[in-house]
Amino acid sequence: MDSSTHLLRIGQRGARFQLMMALRDLRGSFQRIGLAWSLAWHDIGSRYRGSILGPFWITLSMGLMVLGIGFLYAGLFHIPIETYLPYVALGIVFFGVLTGTINEGCETFVQASGMLSQTSLPMFTFVWRVMFRNLINLAHHMVIVVAVLVIFGFWRKANVPAAAIGIVLMLVNAAWLSMLAGIASARFRDIPQIVQSIMQFAIFMTPVFWLPDLRLGAHRAVLEANPFYHLLTAVRSPLLGQTVPEHTYGVLALMALLGWLFTFSLFARTRRRIVHYL
Amino acid sequence: MNPVTASITCTNLTLRFPVYGVDAKSLKKALARVTVGGVLGRHAGVTDVTALSGVNLELKAGDRLGLIGHNGSGKTTLLRALSGAYEPDEGTIDVHGRIAPLLDLSLGIDASATGYENIRLRGRIAGLSSREIEAKMDEIADFTGLGPFLAMPVKTYSAGMKGRLAFAAATAVETDVLLMDEWIAVGDSEFQQVAHKRLLSLVERAGILVLATHEVSLLKLYCNKVMRLDGGVASEVVDIRRLDELLAR
């Protein structure tokens, strides 16, 4: 029967039942994926309502930041600008996807409290809403990526299919991190602050602005232990014509698997409570 | 779409929920609780409230149920449970038909967006496609009676205007089950009249209306059945003619 015209709710417990309901929620969100998309566009629309450039404001501001940092730091670090600027541009753009999805993830359910408390909309819809919103932003930023790759000639050696795999791995991981942040933030109001601090710390610990020197032992251990390093490398390196270390794919696949297992079981456990947290 | 015979069945519906106070939302306190081994205020801030206990309800097409009861008696909780937002702890809720919740005005209302944008948003939430919404847009716009104001941000609206917008958008969708809390009383008398007509036509289409209110006049106007809630315990559903009897209890 059409799910939109029949609502059945059973007061039942048990891990199996809860898992089944969580899967049903996920399925429901895919059936109405267009809603998440509309909500995401609506968000973008409201954010830039009345501004002339619209979402291209973020592109512009990010472009200026890339230029400024690119020129200044290239001089400071004594790295040729044609190597450094593309490197930092891609770093800022793709790390921005991670910060965006995870930081905004905190608001996933809190922002949707009005809808969640009087409809039977799938919870996952709001997770996809955050993801789509950030994808739309990324699409605007791709202008910078393409411009930089063309201007500095990297487009000839860029490995686009590998970068696409990298982006998929990044998004799959960002999605569970975002959802986890959403569930945790709904329950505990301290989480958004903590998440923000972590992401701020991460941008400096991850080679976004600086080039890693893999000769150093301790330094390398810190890098390898940083999941954001792997996430960023899988996207950035192929675009710059460099190879991605094989173990990076292993790390990312494992991270996606374990992360989703954990987040999904947490969701199955808390799903019916989230609306009461808000 | 196939016509659906609307019905609502609740069997032994029990709903408990934890109310998280400020303390319970603090991570520090929760961590302290874990590290101290749960000795430090085991119930700190989290209070379990039984909002509904053992509610049985059976409504069929054409029923217009009025929910009465003191503040905090569980009226809104029951409406939210019927909308599918709250899940029962025990018992079942079984609703056939497309549900339109009119519980609070904020659903899908983005204050900085215009009236038109909000109608679209609300339509999408209710499950319409963008095309279906555009097809109905003129009719909805007309029904709100807001005219040129629809092109303005909703934050400039008065409460009555917001009510018109929300009511028009929500009832424009083919609905079978309309869940309403109190605020139907918003809007001026002219709007009350159109709203009244629309509600009646909904009921004629063999829909179900569940309305929570304290206003006896509204009950008499819209409802043919009443149920009283007291601390989450429901009375039996009685005919509207026995309203006084129910109120007197």
Which chain A residue has its CA at the smallest distance from B95's CA? Answer: A7
Residue B118 lies in a domain: no
The DSSP bridge partners found for residue B95 are A7, B8
Does residue A4 surpass a pLDDT of 80?
A: no
Question: Chains A, B: CB contacts under 8 A, how many?
Answer: 119
Partners of residue A120 in chain B, C-beta under 8 Å: 83-85, 99
Does residue A216 surpass a pLDDT of 80?
A: no
Partners of residue A194 in chain B, C-beta under 8 Å: 27
Q: Is B54 touching A (CB cutoff 8 A)?
A: no
The H or E element containing residue B200 is: helix B189-204
Maximum CA pair distance of chain B?
62
**CB contact residues (below 8 A), chain B span 175-194, against chain A:** 176, 179
What pLDDT does residue A1 have? 32
> CA–CA separation, A29 vs A127, rounded Å?
9
Distance from CA of A172 to the nearest CA of B (A): 26
What pLDDT does residue B185 have? 60
Does residue A3 surpass a pLDDT of 60?
A: no
Residue B130 lies in a domain: no
Does residue B1 surpass a pLDDT of 50?
A: no
User: Which of A7, A42, A269 is best to mutate for the B interface (most B CBs within 10 A)?
Assistant: A7
Q: Select from A195, A182, A199 the least CA-distant residue to A271.
A: A182
Enter the tokens of residue B242. Answer: 């026995």
Domain containing B60 equals: 1-98+177-183+213-249
Give me the mean pLDDT over the B122-133 stretch. 83
Partners of residue A190 in chain B, C-beta under 8 Å: 26-28
Which residue has better confidence, B187 or A17? Answer: A17
What pLDDT does residue B159 have? 76
Distance from CA of B114 to the nearest CA of A (A): 10
What pLDDT does residue B24 have? 65
The mean pLDDT value of chain A amounts to 88
Distance from CA of A128 to the nearest CA of B (A): 14
> B121–A11: do the CB atoms touch at under 8 Å?
no
Q: For residue A267, how many C-alpha atoms fall within 13 Å in the half-sphere facing its CB?
A: 26
Spatial neighbors of A46 by CB under 8 A, at least 6 apart, are B110, B112, B113
pLDDT in tens, B155-199: 888 877 887 888 887 777 777 888 888 766 666 777 777 777 877
Which chain A residue has its CA at the smallest distance from B181's CA? Answer: A118
B49 phi and psi angles, rounded to 5 deg: -115, 130
pLDDT-derived band at A166, boundaries 50, 70, 90: very high
Residue B153 lies in a domain: no
In this structure, the number of other CB atoms found within 10 A of the CB of residue B111 comes to 13
> CA–CA separation, B33 vs A77, rounded Å?
49
When mean pLDDT is compared across A20-24, A149-153, A261-265, B185-189, the lowest value belongs to: B185-189
Partners of residue B28 in chain A, C-beta under 8 Å: 190
Q: Select from A118, A223, A133 the least CA-distant residue to A174.
A: A133
Give me the mean pLDDT over the B51-64 stretch. 86
Residue for token pair 């097809």: B135
What pLDDT does residue B248 have? 76
What do you get for the CA distance between the two ends of chain A, in Å? 31
> CA–CA separation, A12 vs A31, rounded Å?
25
pLDDT-derived band at B39, boundaries 50, 70, 90: very low
- The 3-state DSSP class for residue B161 equals helix
Exposed/middle/buried for residue A216 (C-beta within 10 Å: 0-12, 13-18, 19+): exposed
Give me the mean pLDDT over the A104-111 stretch. 91
Residue for token pair 């399925």: A27
What pLDDT does residue B4 have? 65
pLDDT-derived band at B25, boundaries 50, 70, 90: low
User: Which of B26, B124, B134 is best to mutate for the A interface (most A CBs within 10 A)?
Assistant: B124
User: Which of B15, B22, B25 is best to mutate for the A interface (most A CBs within 10 A)?
Assistant: B25
Alpha helices in chain A (DSSP H): 15-31, 33-47, 56-77, 81-105, 108-111, 113-116, 124-151, 160-187, 191-205, 217-224, 227-239, 246-277
Query: CATH number of the domain that B72 lies in?
Result: 3.40.50.300
Number of domains in chain B: 1
Exposed/middle/buried for residue B205 (C-beta within 10 Å: 0-12, 13-18, 19+): middle
Maximum CA pair distance of chain A?
67
Does residue B30 surpass a pLDDT of 90?
A: no
The mean pLDDT value of chain B amounts to 79
ipTM: 0.81
What pLDDT does residue B37 have? 45
Q: Under a CB-based contact definition with an 8 Å cutoff, are residues B105 and B162 in contact?
A: yes
Residue B111 lies in a domain: no
Does residue B243 surpass a pLDDT of 60?
A: yes
Does residue A2 surpass a pLDDT of 50?
A: no
CA distances from A195 to A104, A180, A199, A258 (A): 10, 11, 6, 20
Three-class HEC string of B58-112: EEECCCEEEEECCCCCCHHHHHHHHHCCCCCCEEEEEEECCEEEECCCCCCCCCC
pLDDT-derived band at A239, boundaries 50, 70, 90: very high
Residue B218 lies in a domain: yes
Partners of residue A37 in chain B, C-beta under 8 Å: none
pLDDT-derived band at B53, boundaries 50, 70, 90: confident
Residue B75 lies in a domain: yes
The DSSP bridge partners found for residue B228 are B68
CA distances from B114 to A165, B69, B136 (A): 40, 36, 17
Residue B134 lies in a domain: no
Which residue has better confidence, B133 or A260? Answer: A260
pLDDT-derived band at A91, boundaries 50, 70, 90: very high
Q: Select from B76, B78, B173 the least CA-distant residue to B125.
A: B173
User: Which of B16, B20, B175 is best to mutate for the A interface (most A CBs within 10 A)?
Assistant: B20
Give me the mean pLDDT over the A192-214 stretch. 89
Q: Select from B8, B18, B227 the least CA-distant residue to A7.
A: B8
> B96–A194: do the CB atoms touch at under 8 Å?
no
What pLDDT does residue B155 have? 82
What pLDDT does residue B45 have? 61
- The 3-state DSSP class for residue A120 equals coil
Q: Under a CB-based contact definition with an 8 Å cutoff, are residues A199 and A102 in contact?
A: yes
Q: Select from B114, B211, B123, B100 the least CA-distant residue to B169.
A: B123
Q: Chain A interface residues facing chain B, Cβ-Cβ under 8 Å?
A: 4-11, 32, 34-35, 38-39, 42, 45-46, 49, 114-121, 187-191, 194, 272-273, 275-277
> CA–CA separation, A177 vs A94, rounded Å?
15
Q: Select from A44, A138, A63, A143 the least CA-distant residue to A100.
A: A138
Residue B200 lies in a domain: no
Does residue A177 surpass a pLDDT of 80?
A: yes
Q: Select from B201, B229, B204, B195 the least CA-distant residue to B81.
A: B229
What pLDDT does residue B42 have? 45
Q: Out of B14, B20, B120, whose CB is closest to A11? A: B14
Which residue has better confidence, B132 or A37? Answer: A37
DSSP annotation of A243:
P
Residue for token pair 């512009």: A60
